[in-house]
Amino acid sequence: MADPASDRDAIRHLLATYTYNGDRGRIAELAACFAADGVLEFPGATATGPDAIAAALSTGGTADPRRTFVRHHTTNPLIEVNGDTATARSYFSVWSNHGPDHAGTYSDQLIRTVDGWRFAHRLVRIDWQADASLFRRMVTR
């Protein structure tokens, strides 16, 4: 029998794994958080499958050389488990070495795989971005 509390804990671990790897530039490890046909949708791009997701994140242009530090803070994950599928919605804020940079929401559809929980679809929505952001313009109102 499935244990919803254990499933939610495993999903929170997946959310953190994605974030830690992204902040450290470990794109292959971030992409491994997705199912084989998982989709990452973010402002300006959509990619399907870990290889395409890694390529989309790796070809996002040259990073602003002033950016030497980045941390995503994910909060209030609202996780609903339904057998071998789940949904999650979280807020996030991003800090850089220049302070608060941008904020938004993650809307996730998840699936249990033989390797554990993975993203079936992650929609990244940017609700606010600092005028002096060290990232390209991404607000998706």
pLDDT for 34 equals: 98
For the entire predicted model, the pTM comes to 0.92
Q: Which CATH number fits domain 4-129: 3.90.1150.10, 3.10.450.50, 3.40.366.30, 3.40.140.10?
A: 3.10.450.50
User: How would residue 1 be classed by pLDDT, with cut points 50, 70 and 90?
Assistant: low
In this predicted model, what pLDDT tens digit does every residue of 44-88 receive, in sequence order? 899 999 999 999 998 655 667 777 788 999 999 999 999 999 999
In this predicted model, what pLDDT tens digit does every residue of 114-131 receive, in sequence order? 999 999 999 999 999 999
Residue 37 CB contacts under 8 Å (≥ 6 apart), including other chains: 48, 49, 120
Residue 103 CB contacts under 8 Å (≥ 6 apart), including other chains: 91, 92, 93, 94, 126, 127, 128, 129
Compute the mean pLDDT over every residue in the chain, rounded to the nearest whole number: 92
